[in-house]
Amino acid sequence: LVVRHAQVFRDKQNINVLTGHCVETTNPDKQTVAGSTTDGKDFEFPYDRLLIATGSSAIRPEIPGVDLAGVFVLKDLDDGRKIKNFLKNNNVKKAIIIGMGYIALEMCESLVNLDIAVDMVKPNPVFLPWLEPSMAAVIRDGLESKGVGVYAGHVVDRIQTSSAGLQLIGPDLNLTGDMVLVGIGVKPNSRVADSAGLELSIAKSIAVDRSLKTSAKNIYAAGDCADALHIVTGAKTWIPLALRANRAGWAAADNVIGKNAALEGVAGTAVFRVFDFEVARTGLNLEEAQRAGFDAVENTIQSSSRAHSYSSSRPHPIWVNMIGDKKSGRLLGVQMVGTEGVAHRINAPAVALQNRMTVARYSQTDLAYAPPFGPTWDPTLTAANQLLKKM
Amino acid sequence: LVVRHAQVFRDKQNINVLTGHCVETTNPDKQTVAGSTTDGKDFEFPYDRLLIATGSSAIRPEIPGVDLAGVFVLKDLDDGRKIKNFLKNNNVKKAIIIGMGYIALEMCESLVNLDIAVDMVKPNPVFLPWLEPSMAAVIRDGLESKGVGVYAGHVVDRIQTSSAGLQLIGPDLNLTGDMVLVGIGVKPNSRVADSAGLELSIAKSIAVDRSLKTSAKNIYAAGDCADALHIVTGAKTWIPLALRANRAGWAAADNVIGKNAALEGVAGTAVFRVFDFEVARTGLNLEEAQRAGFDAVENTIQSSSRAHSYSSSRPHPIWVNMIGDKKSGRLLGVQMVGTEGVAHRINAPAVALQNRMTVARYSQTDLAYAPPFGPTWDPTLTAANQLLKKM
C-alpha cells in the first residue's frame, strides 16, 4: 500500500485489509466476491455493498522486445523505483521515450535535467494533437531547443538489443538508447466489473451514475477505473485524473454508508509542465466541440503573464485559445500555454464551464489585477473579448 | 496625457482633445459644459452625450506640514516622478509611510528594496482590518521581519521639520525620517457631477446604472469616479480598481455611440504583493457579509501551494479564508495569503461569485492539478470542503 501499511488500517481504523487476495469472480445476485490468494488458497466473501476501486494500468505496446531489461512503463511507485535503480546502476546517456503525452513529456524533462539525451517517438504525426496547432508548435520548438529528438509519425515495430544498447526499429525508424520508457497512456482496470456483467463505458471504463453506482445493485466504482459525465457535453467521458478519482472515492464512501452524494462531472481540466512551459486546458477543444454538435468558433490570442509596466528581465508570453458555441453563446473550452501564470489561470474558465457561462458573461467576470501578476485584463478576459467578435 | 500625446488623438483619431480646459459648470438641461482655460479664457461647449471620466485623487490628510518638501502622495505618473527625483537628489535613509493599505504596502516594499528603512503609521490599531486576523498577522510578521516599524493605532497630528529631517508628531508618536509618503486611499473626483446636481453614491462617487448612465439625461460616468453594483450583495459599492475602470470606459463608449452595453458588477477581486507574500480577496469578508444581512459562517485553512510529493527547497504555505451563507448555502467571499500561487487562484472563486454558486457546488468544480502547481485538492476546494462542515 502506498500511503500507510495494511497493518495501520487494521489496527487504527478497524478495516480488514486483505492484501494478496485476487478477486476472480463477482456474483452480483448472491452478493459475493471470490478468488484466490497469492499462497494458493481460495476465498469467497459476501458483501452488502461492493466498491470497485481498481484504478488504471499503464498500456504496454504489444511489440517484440517490450519486456527487455531497460524498458519501463511509469504508473506506480514501484515503476518509479525500478527506473531510479536502473539509472543508478547503469550509465544512461541516452533514453528513448515511446509516447508524447503528459507523462511522457514530464519524464522527458526529468531525464534531460539529469543530462540524459532524449528521443521521443509516436505513430501520430501531430504533436500534442488535442492542443491548438500554433500552441503545440511552441511546445515542440521548446523541446527541440533542449536537444530532444521529436519523432512524431513513426511506428515502432520492435525493440531489440544491439551492441550500442536498446534499438527501436520501425518502417522508417532506427533509434538506439540505453533505456526505453513507455508513456502511451493508461487503461481502466475493469476486468472484475466486466466479468461480473457490469455495464462498461468509454474506453472500457466502468459505467457509473452521479452517485458512483454501477449497473449492478449495491456495487459502486470510483477512481481511474470508472467513467464520469462531462459537464460541457453532458455525455459520458473517461478522463482519469487525480482530483476526480479522489473526489469519487469520498463520494462513493458517503453513498456506501447511506449518505447521499452526487457528483456533477468533469471538465477535463488539466495542467502539466514541460521545461519552460506550463500547458493547461479545460473543457473541449475545437474538434471535440464540433464532434459534440456545437457550432464551435475559436480564437487564439497572445498576451503576457505580467503587466507591461512591471519591470522584468524577460517577457512572459502567454497564449490562450478559447472556444465558444455560436448558437448558444456558451463557453466550451480554453487552452493555455505560457512560461508562467498558466496553471492557476485555467481554473477561472473551469468554474465558468461548471456554470455553463456564455463567453460574454465570462468576459464580465471581476478577476484580480496587480502588475506583478498580469495585465489589467487577464489573458482569459482578452481571449473572451476577442472571441466575442467572431461570435 | 499618459499613454499618448494629445496631438496624436487629434491627428490620428480625429478627437478634439482640449487640454488646459477646466470644466466648472455643467448644465444638463441646456446640455452644455462651461469653464475656463489655463490661460484665463472662458469656454462653453454643447454636447449630445457627456462622459465624466474624472477618476480619483489621492487623499491628503488635513494636518499641518503635509505640504512640506519631502512629503508625497502617490497616485499618478507625476507623483511617481517626483518621488524618484527626490530619492535621486537626497540621501534618503529612512522613510515614513502614512497609511497601510495596498499602495502603502507596495511603496514600503519598493523602498526597503532600495535599502531605505521604513516606518508605517495609521490611526486604526487593526492591521489590514478587512483581512482575516490570523492572515493579517502573517503579513504583519513578514513586514516586521524585514525591519519595518508598524505603528498601527497612532494618530499623526502634524509634520514638522527638525534637524534630523521630517518629524511626525502625535499624542503618542514621534517618528523622524528623510521623506514621508502618504498612502491613505483615494476619493472620487465627482465635483463636476455634484455641481451639476447629479446623484452621488457611496463615498461621493457618481451614481451610475449598469449602462454607466448617471441620474441626468445623456450624461455617463465611468472609471474611478463612478460607483458600481456589488455582485454578491446586489447593492451599490465603490471599489476603484483598474479592471472595472477600464471595462466601464469601453461600455460607456459603446453606450454613447448607441450600442447597448450593460455591466454586471464587481466582486471586489483584488491582489497585491508585499515582500514574500501575495494577498488576494474576492467578495465579502465576514463583517461585510454580516452587515449585508447574510447568516455568514467562515473558516480558515492552511494548505500548500504545491504538492507534498514535489521536491522543493522550502514549504509554500497558503492560507484560505472562506465565507458562506448558512441560509442559502451561497459562497460569499474568499481571502488568500501565501508565498506563491495566490494571485491567480483567487479568480476561480471570483467566477463562482459571479454565478452565485453555493459552497457545495464550488467544492465540486474541476480544477487543474499537477504536483508543481498545487495539491490534488486546490486549497480553495479544501477550504470549501472544510467550510461545508460548519454550514
Query: Do the chains contact at B347 and A348, CB–CB below 8 Å?
Result: yes
- Tell me the pLDDT band of B128, cut-offs 50, 70 and 90: very high
Report pLDDT for A310: 63
User: Strands B186-188 and A21-27: what pairing?
Assistant: unpaired
* B93-112 per-position pLDDT tens digit: 999 999 999 999 999 999 99
Give the H or E element holding residue A37. strand A32-37
Kindly report the backbone phi and psi dihedral angles of residue B17, in degrees, each rounded to the nearest multiple of 5, phi listed first. Answer: -75, 120
Chain B residues touching residue A346 (CB < 8 angstroms)? 368
User: Residues 270-299, chain B: which have Cβ within 8 Å of A?
Assistant: 270-273, 278, 280, 282
A114 pLDDT above the threshold of 60: yes
- CA distance to B208, B262, B295, per residue, from B191 (Å): 15, 25, 38
User: Strands B21-27 and A331-338: what pairing?
Assistant: unpaired
Selected residue with higher pLDDT from B315 and A322: A322
Report pLDDT for A305: 75
Report the residue of chain B nearest A102, measured CA to CA. Answer: B370
Q: Are the beta carbons of B268 and B237 closer than 8 angstroms? A: yes
Average pLDDT, chain B: 95
- Tell me the pLDDT band of B306, cut-offs 50, 70 and 90: confident
* B17-30 per-position pLDDT tens digit: 999 999 999 999 99
Residues 6+ apart with CB under 8 A from A320: A300, A301, A303, A334, A335, A336, A379, A380, A382, A383
The rounded distance, in Å, linking the Cα atoms of A47 and A32 is: 6
B338 pLDDT above the threshold of 90: yes
Q: Are the beta carbons of B294 and B332 closer than 8 angstroms? A: yes
Q: Which of B204, B254, B211, B215 is nearest to B229 (CA)?
A: B211
The ipTM of this complex is 0.94
Report pLDDT for B305: 75
Average pLDDT, chain A: 95
A126 pLDDT above the threshold of 70: yes
Selected residue with higher pLDDT from A1 and A73: A73
Burial of B135 (C-beta count, 10 Å sphere; 0-12/13-18/19+): buried
Q: Are the beta carbons of B140 and B150 closer than 8 angstroms? A: yes
High-pLDDT (> 90) share of chain A, %: 89
DSSP codes of every residue in A298-344: EEEEEEESS-TTS--SS--EEEEEEEEETTT-BEEEEEEEESSS-TT
Report pLDDT for B310: 63
Grid coordinates standing for A391?
A: 461570435
Q: Are the beta carbons of B281 and B336 closer than 8 angstroms? A: yes
Q: Are the beta carbons of B363 and B388 closer than 8 angstroms? A: yes
Whether B18 contacts chain A with CB within 8 A: no
Query: Do the chains contact at B263 and A364, CB–CB below 8 Å?
Result: yes
B121 pLDDT above the threshold of 70: yes
For residue B82, is it left (φ>0), alpha (ψ between -120 and 50) or beta?
alpha
B187 pLDDT above the threshold of 80: yes
Provide the shortest C-alpha distance from residue A196 to chain B (in Å).
31
The rounded distance, in Å, linking the Cα atoms of B139 and B124 is: 16
In this structure, the number of other CB atoms found within 10 A of the CB of residue B275 comes to 16
Kindly report the backbone phi and psi dihedral angles of residue B197, in degrees, each rounded to the nearest multiple of 5, phi listed first. Answer: 85, 15
Strand partners, A200: A206
Q: What is the SS3 assignment for B180? A: strand
SS3 of B62-116: the string is: CCCCCCCCCEEECCCHHHHHHHHHHHHHCCCCEEEEECCCHHHHHHHHHHHHCCC
- Tell me the pLDDT band of A314, cut-offs 50, 70 and 90: low
In this structure, the number of other CB atoms found within 10 A of the CB of residue B59 comes to 15
B296 pLDDT above the threshold of 60: yes
User: Residues 348-377, chain B: which have Cβ within 8 Å of A?
Assistant: 348-355, 357, 361-362, 364-370, 372-374, 376-377
* A318-347 per-position pLDDT tens digit: 999 999 999 999 999 999 999 989 999 999
Q: Which of B32, B50, B31, B34 is nearest to B208 (CA)?
A: B50
Kindly report the backbone phi and psi dihedral angles of residue B338, in degrees, each rounded to the nearest multiple of 5, phi listed first. Answer: -175, 170
Report pLDDT for B3: 75
Which site among B344, B376, B382 would you substitute to test the A interface, given the most A Cβ atoms closer than 10 Å to its Cβ?
B344
Q: Are the beta carbons of B286 and B132 closer than 8 angstroms? A: yes
B309 pLDDT above the threshold of 70: no
Report pLDDT for B105: 97
* B204-236 per-position pLDDT tens digit: 999 999 999 999 999 999 999 999 999 999 999
In this structure, the number of other CB atoms found within 10 A of the CB of residue B44 comes to 11
Q: Are the beta carbons of A306 and A374 closer than 8 angstroms? A: yes
Which site among B347, B363, B369, B380 would you substitute to test the A interface, given the most A Cβ atoms closer than 10 Å to its Cβ?
B347
The rounded distance, in Å, linking the Cα atoms of A188 and B89 is: 70
Query: Do the chains contact at B243 and A367, CB–CB below 8 Å?
Result: yes
CA triple A145-A147-A148, angle to 5 deg: 105
- Tell me the pLDDT band of A227, cut-offs 50, 70 and 90: very high
Grid coordinates standing for A214?
A: 454501477
- Tell me the pLDDT band of A269, cut-offs 50, 70 and 90: very high
Query: What's the predicted TM-score (pTM) here?
Result: 0.95
Lowest mean pLDDT among A59-73, A307-321, B278-292: A307-321
- CA distance to A146, A365, B124, B193, B291, per residue, from B225 (Å): 51, 20, 26, 9, 25
Q: Are the beta carbons of A115 and A269 closer than 8 angstroms? A: no
Query: Do the chains contact at A357 and B351, CB–CB below 8 Å?
Result: yes
Report pLDDT for B210: 97
Q: Are the beta carbons of A107 and A262 closer than 8 angstroms? A: no
